Chain A
């Protein structure tokens, strides 16, 4: 079963995936990571992808980032087929992907140096602005290993935002953080999103997190990776992860998720 509803709102479509499939072939096995995935994401939309591990969420982000190519179907951004990575679609990872040989500032400057048409002082200004935005300007000369996990992900966020991408791809960015730090970051990311209106595709296996952040929550199921269902979350923002309204949505979505995960096991 597959239900694909065009995205709500009047914004133009930013990302279009049509009948996308992706296989991984190793010497021992063939895995179909994605099977006939069709998805439209509007400009400025915040979409959360949820599903058990192995259902192709990271694969999908890699395709949108241009780090990988689909075996079937098309992936388009702004009506152009995606041919490779670029500073318009930046990826933020779960693990610490910050470069330990650079300072905090050096890490944020890395992406900026790959953007054409900026001189050194403009780059510096932007880097400092985004470090300020995530509340870490004081630490710009620190080394990466001196920061806590939450601070590192904030730096990673600043690094991804600085080159001014129109699409931000986040692969379980808060998965390795403790609950309290995560809650702070939910606040930060919502504030930044409302100020800067990026299109965000956010992968998580935490349903509550998805409901707290997303305009839409899209459920995936594994073997092969498919879209199973999607939910609009018309709650007002900023949202509090602990609110009762939010809990109603996440309870409902979790029930559906459990339903098909169990039916899969029985099969």
Chain B
């Protein structure tokens, strides 16, 4: 464990070292490639005058609400398409089609429908999450060996109990990969929306990135990108990784 930490630290120290070397070599203008120190200075000042915290808060809030809504709607719909032919032929086909649509494509539509409001942001995130989650849930439920629900039924389980105690847990490996994919899509679509659209109700990380470009403030652009990467990593390590470890231990499979 310590060895892995050491290797990882060394690796990232090397990356920053190379970055500094490239800056020292003065191949590119410092306007295009700011030094690591100036990026960290920007981040420090943004933390101190609270703009960074506010932006993180705004973005993460949108993300969590949108993603949560996506799961809340997508999971039952996925269960529905897996259970009934009519819903598979309707909602299932719709989800399959819309899943191929890059989530950025929802931005113009969201703007026309909702204007420059919070609702537009949430709409884009929900559309980014929903379809892949429906597909993953549907696939997961269909892949469950029928013997599980037969065994459960024999023991007196039925209806809602079977869904919550057998079908959902049995589909968990698929649900998790669907949720991870949904998370990535939600993140991407929200950043795209924030970069393209000025929303009067809150300044997110995407907006910081956008204004960094407008102001030619490369330290801000790179700093905000780093923060976005960090949030993505943190969510993966704290939200998904523990569930993955649990699955790995219980199922005894090398998933993910």
A115 to B155, CA, bound (A): 9
Tell me which of B150, B172, B252 contacts A67 (CB under 8 A).
B150
**B165 pairs with A110, CB closer than 8 A:** yes
A146 to B154, CA, bound (A): 25
Q: How far is the CB of A70 from chain B (nearest CB, A)?
A: 17
B14 interfacial by beta-carbon distance below 8 Å: no
A169 to B150, CA, bound (A): 13
Q: Which of A91, A100, A102, A143 has the most CB of B within 10 A?
A: A100
**A145 pairs with B252, CB closer than 8 A:** yes
Chain B interface secondary structure, helix, strand, loop or mixed?
A: helix
**B251 pairs with A101, CB closer than 8 A:** yes
Residues of chain B with a CB closer than 8 A to A82's CB: none
Give the size of the chain B interface in residues (CB under 8 angstroms): 23
**B155 pairs with A114, CB closer than 8 A:** yes
A97 interfacial by beta-carbon distance below 8 Å: yes
**Which residues in window 129-154 of A have CB below 8 A to B?**
143-146
**Which residues in window 132-177 of B have CB below 8 A to A?**
145, 147-148, 150-158, 161, 165-166, 169-170, 172
Residues of chain A with a CB closer than 8 A to B252's CB: 100, 143-146
Q: How far is the CB of A111 from chain B (nearest CB, A)?
A: 4
Known: A87-B156, A143-B252, A145-B250. 7 other contacts (CB 8 A): A84-B158, A85-B158, A89-B154, A99-B170, A100-B252, A115-B156, A145-B251
Can you list 29 contacts pairing A with B, beta carbon distance less than 8 Å?
A67-B154, A85-B154, A85-B156, A85-B158, A86-B156, A89-B154, A90-B154, A91-B150, A91-B151, A97-B147, A97-B148, A99-B166, A99-B169, A99-B170, A100-B170, A100-B250, A100-B251, A101-B250, A103-B250, A110-B152, A110-B157, A111-B155, A111-B156, A143-B250, A143-B251, A145-B250, A159-B155, A163-B155, A169-B154
